[in-house]
Amino acid sequence: MAPAPVKARKEPQAGPAFDTVALVQKPLAQPAPALAQPALAAVEPQLSQPAPELPAPDLKAAALPTDGSVFSSVAFQIGGIPGKARWASVRSAAIDTGCGEACPAGKEIGAAIDAAKGKPVAERLSAINSAVNRAIAYQSDREIYGTRDYWAKPQETIKRAKGDCEDFAILKMAALKAAGVPEQNMTLVVLRDTRRNLFHAVLAVATERGQFILDNLRMDVPRDTSLGNYQALYSMNADRTFIHGYKSGNRVAGGMSSLGNVQPGEGV
């Protein structure tokens, strides 16, 4: 079920509250997860309330998670997962913004990548998130490709200047990689938005201050812990895949049983 387009509110967007954040370098064998959510024209319905202000985190206390956890979930590493083959294909695709006047989206995103190189990590995340959200219009896979679920390579999304939520996340990952953010610090998270009762996908970037979420629904880049309506289902990064559950008493609720039916952008 494709979300109805909404009218964007023209008001200043709050910048991310982590101006001095730095990435934690780690070996490729240790991945990193993350996720997020405001809005623009013609994307999935926006939330009416802004993200809460976050206090400046204690850098020493903000250890980089190595267990795959995100959105307060319990993560279980597994070998096979829905979408893993598609993920391998789109993750390895390099971004190419040199398509000239034929695709204005490429020009805008390419300029953002060039401007972001060498900047503090916070500025890179904010610049790429904003540029992609401005340049790409939200449309469902049914509308673009005539199929229920299609994971587009970055260049496909740039040329069409449209995509659904996981296409935004995949493109942002490629753009951040081109801007110098290590691939192993980025994770594609497929989740359930309990407020809208929809499946959704975002990009999480792990830093020494925690995980920050790049979302096609919002122009700011909040911490995953501020998004209580997001429940991670499965996630994929440079070298590992996870399924996610949530503690309920003394047990963890979650599993693989219905993940094959999870289509980001579709209703639950």
The pTM for the full model equals: 0.74
- 146 is a domain residue: yes
Taking alpha carbons only, the member of 166, 102, 93, 168 closest to residue 135 is 168
When computed from its CA atoms, the radius of gyration of the chain, rounded to whole angstroms, is 17
- 34 is a domain residue: no
57 vs 37: CA distance, rounded Å: 20
Res 242 pLDDT > 80:
yes
- 254 is a domain residue: no
Res 17 pLDDT > 50:
no
- 167 is a domain residue: yes
Q: What is the dihedral of CA 95, 96, 97, 102, to 10 degrees?
A: -130
- 161 is a domain residue: yes
- 102 is a domain residue: yes
The mean pLDDT of 198-203, rounded to a whole number, is: 95
Structural domain range at position 98: 85-197
Q: What is the pLDDT of residue 214?
A: 98
Res 266 pLDDT > 70:
no
Q: Look at the chain and report how many structural domains it folds into.
A: 1
Average pLDDT score over the chain = 77
Fill in the DSSP letter of residue 259.
G
Residue positions counted in the chain: 268
CATH of the domain at 190: 3.10.620.30
Res 18 pLDDT > 50:
no
Taking alpha carbons only, the member of 191, 180, 181, 152 closest to residue 168 is 152
- Band (259; pLDDT cuts 50, 70, 90): low
- 75 is a domain residue: no
Using one digit for the tens of pLDDT, what is the confidence trace for 133-180?
A: 999 999 999 999 999 889 999 999 999 999 999 999 999 999 999 999
- 22 is a domain residue: no
188 vs 242: CA distance, rounded Å: 11
Q: What is the pLDDT of residue 16?
A: 43
